[in-house]
Structure 1
Amino acid sequence: MVLDGVVPDTPLAAVLVIVVATGFIWVGSGWLESSAERLSAYYGLPAVVQGSVVVAVGSSFPELASVVFTALAGTFNMGVGAIVGSAIFNILVIPALSGMATDGELETNRTLVYKEAQFYMIAVSAVVVTFSLAVIYLPVPDGPALRGELTRPLALLPLGLYGLYLFIQWQDVADHVAEVDDGVAVGREWGKLAASLVVILLAVEQLVGGVEVLNAAFGIPEFLAGVTIIAAATSLPDTLVSVRSAQANKGVTSLGNVLGSNTFDLLVAIPVGVLIVGSVPIDFAVAVPMLGVLTFATVLLFAFLRTDLSITTLEAYTLLFAYLVFVAWVVAETVGVTNVIRGA
């Protein structure tokens, strides 16, 4: 139900709500970007930490909200689909658009490649292991063979890994010496940051409601709806932040936001949804093929980043083409042309 029943639950109304909600997410992300940048300058954070923690966590708020709302609505597969789909979008589309937005190549550095990118690969593996443990030790009674219960104790595993990630970032901040901008109105910027999160939260709630109406009308599988519609809409803040950073020749911040956002989504957003509702079923047959695509996309981006520590225009177009192939495959799965995702 969208707008608490004020708008009729029709496909046309749902599409309008999705478009308007996406616009509000875009506006909220603009507020979030500017306030996060000023606060990072005030506290003297290094560029890689600014991108991978401060901006990444803030711009990941739509994904976190989508998981919470779908978990409460009993459609957790849609939330997981939104996280995985958003991660694929972030890894392929955002670096591609950022590379196209720069004059020349999108520059990076060894810290980003050898710390952020490799830790993100560990995050992907941790999610696969957590889902596997749910299927092996907590199978759903009388359910499909590859469906398990994701419980609160299991959700603590990826959360603990994110704690290690924050500890590593804290060590980098402790060793970093930077100029501090004392001219920032700290109270106002924190207020602006909070307001942006509220706007994004309300917009995502309506976005999820609109997608649920489309699911009921057209029979779109929950996971695939999350992978495509919700994932693209909730990735808008990350896209805006990274592209603007790239245009300002801040390649490290731009790519750090992508990797940090995905790390937060996988290790925090999914477990938070589980902690809220207690336990949720996870369909391994649906999740693993998508996580396989995410792994391939991550390896592709890592290879490009490692080559001369930059992303060229050709590599940017290659990433974008890979995402278009992924979308075509998802559409083929939805209409029944292919049947790789057995649980969908």
Structure 2
Amino acid sequence: MLRLLELSVIAVVATAVVWKGSEWLEGASKNLSAHYGLPPVVQGAVVVAIGSSFPELVSVVLSTAPPPIGAGQFDLGVSAVVGSAVFNLLVIPAVSGILGDEVSASRAIVYKEAQFYMVAVSAVVITFALAVIYYPVPEDRLVGTVTRPLAAIPVLLYGVYVFTQYQDTNDFDAPDAGEIDIARQWGWLALSLVVIAVAVEGLVEAAVGFGDFFGTPSFLWGLTVIAAGTSLPDTLVSVRAAQENRGETSLANVLGSNVFDLLVAVPVGVLIVGAVPVNFGVAVPLLGFLTVATVIVFGFLRTELTLSVRESYALLGLYAVFIVWMVLETFGVLGFVPGA
């Protein structure tokens, strides 16, 4: 029990530190975006999204890197990213919608951000499928090896995403941002990233420790402990934006963060190690659920271009279903995810 208490304290403290670091990150990102005259969609989808997705990137690096630097568990990093993506997509807009009464969207969010996000999910599925087809692991027909050339595919696609966002800045007439100390803001941004990186290391340690203590796959703890902890920056940024009636920035941050997580954070683990095995039987059901959740959110946003309080509670219910499903899979009650 002493070990369990220690792990719980580590998880709580690390989560609190991530939260504090995210406050600094949010302020610096917002000021820098205003200074450089970025449109709200670009601000949320690129600048703030990349900054608030830094915890997920660090979690993949620390999970994938071999000991003593990391845990040497690529599946832990992937589960953390997928769990974070589901959390971002369902919980953050829901909390934003409840606390802000409703979240307003725009056609740019619905027709560009949401649809590109679905393309990102498809790209990851295709990359894993190519690994199983061309680099199979003989012992298991559902396991393939993701190599650096395969990992480069989603990264290149993210380059296309950034290019499309850059085009939007050419047509945007930015308001006067006032006097901003740029050097100071970049300093706060750098400090926040360091603080978050240290805190995420604690979350990864806690997730691996919980798995060992309960005799369960660290996969489950990546989906819950790491995912929820690393999603705090996105939650803080999106909820505050929604409360300030900046629903477009709020939703763009969620979708932009998920695009970054899938197209950059996951491949980075492969690019660091060189090649990692991936269980297609685990990846496809999870990414399939992510696709279904995306379609539901897309449908909610398309109706009157708002996310109502009622729809927000429906998204929270869907997330609860996801967590229950993962717990049942982990303890062998269900078998839809082979190897979970």
- TM-score normalised to structure 2 length: 0.97
Take 1:334 and 1:274, find their aligned partners in 2: how far apart are those partners? 25
How far is the alpha carbon of 1:274 from its aligned partner?
0.6
* Residue in 1 that maps onto 2:134: 137
Partner SS for 2:137 = coil
Q: How many residues align?
A: 335
CA contact (8 A) 2:210 2:221 kept: no
* Residue in 2 that maps onto 1:185: 181
* Residue in 2 that maps onto 1:101: 99
* Residue in 1 that maps onto 2:73: 75
1:241 to 237, 243, 257: 237
* Residue in 2 that maps onto 1:41: 34
Q: Does 1:123 align with 2:120?
A: yes
In structure 2, the gaps of 5 or more residues are: 66-70
Take 1:229 and 1:207, find their aligned partners in 2: how far apart are those partners? 7
* Residue in 2 that maps onto 1:112: 109
Take 1:179 and 1:247, find their aligned partners in 2: how far apart are those partners? 21
Q: Does 1:228 align with 2:221?
A: no
Partner SS for 1:145 = strand
Q: Does 1:22 align with 2:15?
A: yes
How far is the alpha carbon of 1:9 from its aligned partner?
9.1
How far is the alpha carbon of 1:182 from its aligned partner?
3.9
* Residue in 2 that maps onto 1:5: none
Take 2:103 and 2:14, find their aligned partners in 1: how far apart are those partners? 31
Take 1:151 and 1:127, find their aligned partners in 2: how far apart are those partners? 13
* Residue in 2 that maps onto 1:58: 51
Partner SS for 2:144 = strand
Partner SS for 1:147 = strand
Take 1:295 and 1:202, find their aligned partners in 2: how far apart are those partners? 32
Take 2:182 and 2:333, find their aligned partners in 1: how far apart are those partners? 54
Take 1:36 and 1:261, find their aligned partners in 2: how far apart are those partners? 14
> Which residue identity does 1:172 align to in structure 2?
D
What aligned pairs does 1:197-216 form with structure 2 within 5 A after superposition? Answer: 197-216=193-212
* Residue in 1 that maps onto 2:263: 267
CA contact (8 A) 2:28 2:188 kept: yes
Take 2:178 and 2:275, find their aligned partners in 1: how far apart are those partners? 46
Moved over 3 A (4+): none
Take 2:161 and 2:196, find their aligned partners in 1: how far apart are those partners? 25
> Which residue identity does 1:39 align to in structure 2?
L
CA contact (8 A) 2:144 2:277 kept: yes
How far is the alpha carbon of 1:205 from its aligned partner?
0.8
Take 2:140 and 2:54, find their aligned partners in 1: how far apart are those partners? 32
Q: Percent identity?
A: 59
* Residue in 2 that maps onto 1:89: 87
* Residue in 2 that maps onto 1:326: 322
CA contact (8 A) 1:215 1:222 kept: yes
Take 2:268 and 2:60, find their aligned partners in 1: how far apart are those partners? 8
CA contact (8 A) 1:69 1:208 kept: yes
Q: Does 1:280 align with 2:276?
A: yes
Cα deviation per residue 1:152-184 (whole Å; 9 max; x = unaligned)?
Answer: 000000001000000001111122111232401
CA contact (8 A) 2:203 2:225 kept: no
Take 2:235 and 2:178, find their aligned partners in 1: how far apart are those partners? 29
How far is the alpha carbon of 1:78 from its aligned partner?
0.5
Cα deviation per residue 1:25-60 (whole Å; 9 max; x = unaligned)?
Answer: 000000000110011111111000000001000000
CA contact (8 A) 1:36 1:193 kept: yes
How far is the alpha carbon of 1:320 from its aligned partner?
0.6
How far is the alpha carbon of 1:11 from its aligned partner?
2.3
> Which residue identity does 1:239 align to in structure 2?
T
* Residue in 1 that maps onto 2:68: none
- TM-score normalised to structure 1 length: 0.95
CA contact (8 A) 1:56 1:264 kept: yes
CA contact (8 A) 2:11 2:225 kept: no
Cα deviation per residue 1:244-303 (whole Å; 9 max; x = unaligned)?
Answer: 100000000000000000000000001111100111110011111111110111000000
Take 1:293 and 1:226, find their aligned partners in 2: how far apart are those partners? 17
